[in-house]
Amino acid sequence: MSVRRFSDVDVFELYKTAYRIKITWEEILTPKVYNFLDVYEKSTNCSKGMVIPALMALTSSLCGPKTKVKSSSLLTSTLNSYIFSVCEPGGGKSLTFDKVVESVLAAYFQKTGKRLNLENYTTAGIHRHQQDNQGIGLVTSDEGNHFLSSVQAKQVKGESERALLCKMWNGKGDFSSLASGCRGFTETSMSLFLLIQPTPLLSEIHNFTDNDGFLDRFVFLTKPVITISYEGKHDSLREVSSKRFRKNLPNDNGRP
């Protein structure tokens, strides 16, 4: 059986598309909120570009599965957010994670005695966490490539965690009615917030198999502009991912 992987061009087109979509935060946020985040950035060195998506994911999770947002007269959904925040090396992702994300996780644990963040990415682990937290949860890491490699490794083994995460993006749980009773959870507001550097992100995406829509569910927030310096015509992304990166955008065929 042949396994489809994303090509170099697929991966770079995805990154380029994310990079070219500009978000002007001061036009979206109220002046009071924007000014607060501006002061917070200057006092902590935590970039607004990482603080805002962190707050989005945390809020989406903590609102719970009963909170709905109406996007049209016919469509309502939960607030689930799957977010990649891409940060250049030395850009402060670990600092932002410690000051913004970890502080909320600690406060949640102190208040409820439960862990908001999911650490066991198996189907059984997801089920147990969601049942214990009434559908509230967060997958988060300042090294997001570890999560991606774990999910991909399970997919290659034929396990179903990725399909479950795709299903949960719509706020749907995984619920079964059995003769012995009901099992699972009906709704979820679990979000994903992954801080990651460009090189491991592109490398992990290149290793992904099967176009099941998993990556389509993510919002990519990118700051660094990258170009791979190719040394051979047939270099694959995996081979060049550790080579020198320059701050130039690739052209349309994925080459400098």
Fill in the amino acid letter for 233. Answer: K
Q: Which helix (H) or strand (E) holds 77?
A: strand 76-77
Q: What is the pLDDT of residue 186?
A: 83
Q: Express as a percent the part of the chain with pLDDT over 90.
A: 27
Question: Which among 112, 111, 85 has a CA at the least distance from the CA of 100?
Answer: 85
Mean pLDDT of the chain: 79
Q: What is the pLDDT of residue 205?
A: 82
Q: At what angle do helices 144-156 and 198-207 cross, to 10 degrees?
A: 10
Question: Which among 85, 106, 99, 92 has a CA at the least distance from the CA of 191?
Answer: 85
- Per-residue confidence at 198, pLDDT binned at 50, 70, 90? confident
Which phi and psi (to 5°) does residue 193 adopt? -130, 110
Residue 69: strand pairing partners: 77
Each residue of 115-128: pLDDT tens digit? Answer: 999 988 888 888 88
**DSSP code per residue over 225-251:** --EE--SSTT--HHHHTTS-EESS---
Q: How far apart are CA 174 and CA 155, in angstroms?
A: 18
Q: What is the pLDDT of residue 170?
A: 84
Lowest mean pLDDT segment, chosen from 6-20, 146-160, 227-241: 227-241
- The answer on pLDDT for 73 being more than 70 is no
Q: How many CB atoms lie within 10 A of CB 198?
A: 21
Q: Which helix (H) or strand (E) holds 220?
A: strand 219-222
Assign 165 to helix, strand or coil.
helix
Look at the alpha carbons of 10, 11, 17, 20 in this order and tell me if their dihedral is positive or negative: negative
Mean per-residue pLDDT, 28-54:
91
Q: What is the pLDDT of residue 212?
A: 76
Q: What is the pLDDT of residue 82?
A: 92
Q: Where are the domains of the chain?
A: 8-246
152 or 193, which is more confident?
A: 193
Distance linking the first and last C-alpha atoms of the chain: 34
Each residue of 137-149: pLDDT tens digit? Answer: 999 999 998 998 8
Q: What is the pLDDT of residue 55?
A: 93
Q: Strand 82-86 to strand 191-196: parallel, antiparallel, or no bridges (unpaired)?
A: parallel
CA distances from 12 to 44, 150, 201, 214, 227 (A): 32, 22, 11, 17, 9
Mean per-residue pLDDT, 231-242:
40
Q: How far apart are CA 121 and CA 151, in angstroms?
A: 7
Q: What is the pLDDT of residue 88?
A: 83
